[in-house]
């Protein structure tokens, strides 16, 4: 009997060893697959990063090169800051740059104001006509009035040949409004109920509870508004002919495409001025993005996850 029990114990130990070996083998295979996936993932994203960074680096290098070259250079040829100095000292570029800063700041603030208030109102389920208003706004995302009716409306509002058309036209974006509405829906209902029990009015709930919890959404959507207003070229081309009212993007296009480059006291080529202008056009967001990145990454999935 003792021998039989001993054999059974040995057999069970052998089975446990085999099962352990199988588990280890499977785990090693999974680990090897995960490592292979990680390697491929890193390689692919490294290639994509190079594809994005190489043109940016060329533009940056050529903006500091006094001599224009067509080849790709890792470092500037005859380094100079004459291109940037020329742009900053040229009056016909300074006014459009100032216009772009003003319209971008005001347009972003107006867009955030309307989107947050609109999203908060549409989040009130007891509001009469809430569904009808939501459907009406959704229709505007699919259909528009057309270019000619829009032009007539803008002319009646006195916004033709006026830089404030960039602020008014982009002040309301239904897509961003829906994103804010979805984000507000993700805020726990218990917070709203607790605020009502404490005697807060709807507007007090909005600026004391909702807005402080919406930093990620405000940063990401605000960045969308800012990029849209800053980079708007077509609106200026259609509605504005007065050079004092155009933005920097339009003037930059005129400078590059029409050869209307400013005279310079610095010994730099025309291509240096082109690339310096391009860097000035993208520089504000290159500076702002690192400070907004932590909010932007969180806000990319605004309203995507529901409890």
HSE (CB half, 13 Å, CA atoms) of 2?
0
Could you tell me if 126 and 115 are in contact, meaning their C-beta atoms sit under 8 angstroms apart? no
Closest by CA to 246, choosing from 261, 256, 257, 235, is: 235
Q: Which residues of 65-86 are buried (b: 16+ CB within 10 A; e: fewer)?
A: bbeeeeeeeeebeeebebbbeb
What kind of fold does domain 84-299 have according to CATH?
Answer: MetI-like fold (1.10.3720)
Calpha distance 276→283 (Å, rounded): 10
pLDDT for 11 equals: 54
Looking at the DSSP assignment, which residues form a beta bridge with residue 65? 79
pLDDT for 102 equals: 92
pLDDT for 217 equals: 83
- 3-state SS, 205-266, equals HHHHHHCHHHHHHHHHHHHHHHHHHHCCCHHHHHHCCCCCCCCHHHHHHHHHHCCCCCCCCC
pLDDT for 9 equals: 46
pLDDT for 306 equals: 47
CB atoms within 10 A of CB 125: 8
Residue 158 has φ and ψ, to the nearest 5°, of 75, 30
Looking at the DSSP assignment, which residues form a beta bridge with residue 79? 65
Could you tell me if 229 and 103 are in contact, meaning their C-beta atoms sit under 8 angstroms apart? yes
Q: Whole-model pTM? A: 0.74
Name the token pair of 68: 């224009």
Closest by CA to 299, choosing from 224, 241, 245, is: 224
Name the token pair of 188: 């726990």
Domain boundaries, the chain: 1-63, 84-299
User: Where are the alpha helices (H) located in the chain, listed in sequence order?
Assistant: 2-63, 82-89, 91-122, 130-142, 147-156, 165-169, 174-185, 189-197, 202-205, 215-230, 234-239, 248-257, 270-299
Closest by CA to 230, choosing from 102, 63, 55, is: 102
Residue 65 has φ and ψ, to the nearest 5°, of -95, 125
* Ordered mean pLDDT values, 10 residues apiece, the chain (307 residues): 51 56 51 69 89 86 77 77 77 83 92 89 82 84 81 88 89 86 83 84 85 83 88 88 86 72 64 80 81 64 49
């Amino acid at each position: 009997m003792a021998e039989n029990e001993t054999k059974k114990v040995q057999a069970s130990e052998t089975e446990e060893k085999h099962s352990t070996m199988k588990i280890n083998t499977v785990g090693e295979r999974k680990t090897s697959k995960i490592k292979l996936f990680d390697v491929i993932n890193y390689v692919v994203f490294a290639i994509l990063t190079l594809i994005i960074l190489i043109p940016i680096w060329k533009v940056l290098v050529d903006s500091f090169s006094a001599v224009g070259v067509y080849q790709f250079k890792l470092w500037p040829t005859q380094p100079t800051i004459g291109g940037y100095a020329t742009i900053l000292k040229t009056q016909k570029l300074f006014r459009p740059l100032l216009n772009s800063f003003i319209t971008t700041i005001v347009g972003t603030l107006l867009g955030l104001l309307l989107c947050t208030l609109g999203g908060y109102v549409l989040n009130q389920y007891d509001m009469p006509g809430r569904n009808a208003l939501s459907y009406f706004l959704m229709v505007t995302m699919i259909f528009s009035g057309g270019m000619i009716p829009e032009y007539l409306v803008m002319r009646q509002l006195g916004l033709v040949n006026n830089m404030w058309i960039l602020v008014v036209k982009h002040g309301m974006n239904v897509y961003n409004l829906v994103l804010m509405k979805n984000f507000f829906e993700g805020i726990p209902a218990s917070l709203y109920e607790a605020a009502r029990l404490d005697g807060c009015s709807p507007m007090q709930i909005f600026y004391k509870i909702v807005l402080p919890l919406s930093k990620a959404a405000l940063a990401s959507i605000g960045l969308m508004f800012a990029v849209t207003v800053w980079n708007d070229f077509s609106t200026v081309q259609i509605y504005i002919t007065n050079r004092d009212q155009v933005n920097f993007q339009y003037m930059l296009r005129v400078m590059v495409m029409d050869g209307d480059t400013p005279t310079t006291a610095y010994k730099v080529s025309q291509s240096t001025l082109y690339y310096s202008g391009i860097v000035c056009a993208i520089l504000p967001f290159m500076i702002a993005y690192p400070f907004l990145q932590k909010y932007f990454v969180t806000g990319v999935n605004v309203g995507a996850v529901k409890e």
